A and B are shown apart, each in its own frame.
Chain A
């Protein structure tokens, strides 16, 4: 087959992404991807064109054990921080293990690595404008996405789909400080659409000192007491994208 024919390559990429290449052809195609940038681009374009088809499937909550297993498997990679006390034998074992793991990772990365560092840096710079982010989800899918932009003193909150709430109630967003200090209100959440909430200097400090957020159900207009008064149906991790200030 002539793999330099762009039309043929694009057709192969499409069939690869759809999944209709026969097993042998699929493997041959995958081995070609590593060294063939135009082919990889073609695959990425087809992935982008078609992926929404499988987003139509109603989400299904996986059992809790799946995350537990993932967590157990990624834990060893965080171990080196606390491994100073290890005997040199154990260190060497760890090095041997990570060399083996690296070989596996490199094998995988070869397929997708791309030599475009400059483009990447540019996109990253633009993207890390947001310093704190959180995705609030229920059992099946995200409900709100939060992005804090300290330079602009703004918290952007977008509702992705409406969460159930009575007419005379509001969702209120709280930061839960790591110190155990009382929750700090960040404002009311939209049921649909996007809102931009101003961030005060005090809230900005609190943003740096919290790793969890909570959403409570309050009377319309928000908590009358300054502390959560109603049920708290959602909590989420607050991610610090530039490290703590």
Chain B
């Protein structure tokens, strides 16, 4: 196991037995990344700060349900954060807010990070995923990034890219299937 994953797994196990110092260490180690994830979906610091709090309360209460064999600690933690952000975003999604948010999504969300594949300090998992993302059609990759990183709905992706919703849906669906077979699992 990756040493950082191993340490985070141990910290989660300590959290499960009520060790708040472990939660603090875990917080120091992952909060900035999770905060960035939340900000990308929520675009408002106040919402993201509140969500980050909720995420760590949920981690504290549910640490015992983390199963090391079912995925890395970061996959588990970032999923909790993303679902929390998606819930908040969907709840707040009046039409005006939605349009506002779609307009606010930065180009960086959609742009594939072409440097990433060569960066030495990214995990092998990240590199492999990036290679598979690069193998998708540009539209498929963009649609998946906008949805996954930006938290956009099919409709918002459609508005953003300027393509029909049906087309976007099939980009996402086919892109995901292609990713699955590229990643070989």
Assess whether A23 is in contact with B123, with CB atoms less than 8 Å apart.
Answer: no
In the complex where A66-B52, A114-B67 touch, is A52 in contact with B9 (Cβ < 8 A)? no
Query: How distant is the Cα of A23 from the Cα of B92 in the complex, in angstroms?
Result: 12
Residues of A within 8 A of B100 (CB): none
In contact, A127 and B151 (Cβ under 8 angstroms)? no
Q: Are B32 and A61 in contact (CB under 8 A)?
A: yes
Q: What separation, in Å, do the CA atoms of A123 and B18 have in the docked complex?
A: 20
Please tell me if the beta carbons of B10 and A160 are within 8 angstroms of each other in the complex.
no
CB distance from B169 to the nearest CB of A (A): 8
Contact A56 B113 (CB under 8 A): yes
Q: For the complex, is B160 an interface residue (Cβ under 8 Å from A)?
A: no
A73 to B70 Cα, complex, angstroms? 29
Task: Choose, from A140-148, A180-188, A217-225, the stretch at the interface.
Answer: A140-148
Q: Is the interface of B mostly helix, strand, loop or mixed?
A: helix
Q: Which residue of B lies closest to A58 (CB)?
A: B36
Q: How far is the CB of A173 from chain B (nearest CB, A)?
A: 15
Contact with B along A204-232 (1 / 0, CB 8 A): 00000001000000000000000000000
A50-75 Cβ-contact flags toward B at 8 Å (1 or 0): 11111111111111011101110111
Q: How far is the CA of A55 from the CA of B81 in the complex (A)?
A: 12
**Docked-complex contact A116 and B67, CB < 8 angstroms:** yes
State in angstroms the CA–CA spacing of A47 and B125 once bound together. 13
Cα distance A105–B16 in the bound complex, in angstroms: 13
Is there a chain A Cβ closer than 8 Å to B166's Cβ?
A: no
Residues of B within 8 A of A133 (CB): 7, 10-11
Give the distance in Å from the alpha carbon of A22 to the alpha carbon of B6 in the complex: 36
- For B, the interface residue count at a CB cutoff of 8 angstroms equals 81
Instruction: Name the contact of A135 in the complex, choosing from B28, B82, B129 (C-beta under 8 A).
Output: B28
A164 within 8 A of B: no
Q: Select B6's contact among A127, A236, A237, beta carbons within 8 Å.
A: A127
Which A residues lie within 8 Å of B135 (CB)? none
- Contact assessment for B32 and A50 in the assembled complex, using a CB-CB cutoff below 8 Å: no
In the complex, A55→B14 CA distance in Å?
24
Residues of A within 8 A of B176 (CB): 11, 14-15, 18
Tell me whether A84 is interfacial, beta carbon within 8 Å. no
Instruction: Decide yes or no: A127 and B68 within 8 Å by CB, A57-B149, A133-B11 being known contacts.
Output: yes
Q: With A20-B153, A48-B75, A62-B52 in contact, is A55–B13 under 8 Å at CB? A: no
Q: Of A11, A57, A70, A236, which is within 8 A of B40 by CB? A: A57
Q: 4 new A-B pairs (CB below 8 Å) besides A18-B172, A26-B90, A47-B78?
A: A18-B148, A56-B126, A158-B4, A241-B10
Residues in A lying within 8 Å of B, measured CB to CB: 10-11, 14-15, 17-20, 22-23, 26, 41, 44-45, 47-63, 65-67, 69-71, 73-75, 77-78, 105, 108-109, 112-114, 116, 119-120, 123-124, 127-128, 130, 133-135, 137, 139-142, 145, 147, 156, 158, 160-161, 194, 211, 236-237, 239, 241
